[in-house]
Amino acid sequence: MSMHRGSESDSGVQLLHDPLRNKGTAFSAAEREALGLRGLLPPGVQTLENQVQRALENCRKQAGPLEKYIYLMALEDRNQTLFYRVVVDHLDEMMPIIYTPTVGRACQEYGHIFRRPRGLYVSAEDRGRIRDVLRNWPQQDVRVIVVTDGERILGLGDLGSNGMGIPVGKLALYVACAGIHPRQCLPVTLDVGTNRDELLADPLYLGLRQRRLTGASYDAFVDEFVDAVQEVFPRTLLQFEDFANHNAFRLLERYRERVCTFNDDIQGTAAVVLAGLISAGRVTGAGLTEQRLLTLGAGEAAIGSGDLIVSAMMEDGLSLEEARGRCWFFDSRGLVVRSRDDLAAHKQRYAHDHAPIGDFLAAIEALRPTAIIGASGQARMFTREIVQALSRIHDRPIVFSLSNPTSKSECTAEQAYGWSDGRAVFASGSPFDPVTIHGKRFVPGQGNNAYIFPGVGLGIVASGARHVTDPMFRAAARTLAAEVSDEDRETGSIFPPLSRIRDVSARIAVAVVEIVRRMGLHRESLPDDREALERYVRERMYQPVYESLAGVRTTAGRA
Q: What is the tally of helices (H) and strands (E) in the chain?
A: 26, 14
Residue 9 has pLDDT above 50, yes or no: no
Distance CA 272, CA 448 (A): 7
Count Cβ atoms within 10 A of the Cβ of residue 387 and give its class: 0-12 exposed, 13-18 middle, 19 or more buried: buried
Per-residue model confidence (pLDDT) at position 554? 31
* CATH superfamily of this structure's domain 451-539: Malic enzyme, N-terminal domain (3.40.50.10380)
With a cut of 80, say whether residue 374 has pLDDT above it: yes
> What are the residue ranges of helices labelled H in 62-129?
65-78, 80-89, 91-98, 102-108, 110-113
Q: What ranges do the domains of the chain cover?
A: 7-94+548-556, 96-259, 267-448, 451-539
The per-residue pLDDT for 558 is 31
pLDDT confidence band for 232 (50 / 70 / 90): very high
Do domains 7-94+548-556 and 267-448 share one topology? The answer is no
pLDDT digits (tens, 9 = 90+) for 252-272: 999 999 999 999 999 999 999
With beta carbons less than 8 A apart as the criterion, state whether 464 and 457 touch: no
Whether 493 has a pLDDT exceeding 60, the answer reads: yes
Q: What is the CATH number of domain 7-94+548-556?
A: 1.20.1370.30
Tell me the backbone φ, ψ of residue 239, rounded to 5 degrees: -105, 120
Average model confidence (pLDDT) across the chain: 94
CATH code assigned to 96-259: 3.40.50.10380
Are 134 and 233 within 8 A, CB to CB?
yes
Confidence at residue 10, expressed as pLDDT on a 0 to 100 scale? 54
2 vs 25: CA distance, rounded Å: 22
Residues 311-326: what's their mean pLDDT?
98
Band (203; pLDDT cuts 50, 70, 90): very high
Distance CA 501, CA 72 (A): 20
pLDDT value at residue 423: 96
- Reduced to 3 states (helix: H, G, I; strand: E, B; else coil), residue 162 is helix
**Whole-Å CA distances, 554 to 1, 369, 551:** 18, 68, 5
> Which CATH superfamily includes the segment(s) 267-448?
NAD(P)-binding Rossmann-like Domain (3.40.50.720)
Residue numbers annotated as active site: 99, 170
What is the number of other CB atoms lying within 10 angstroms of the CB of residue 20? 12
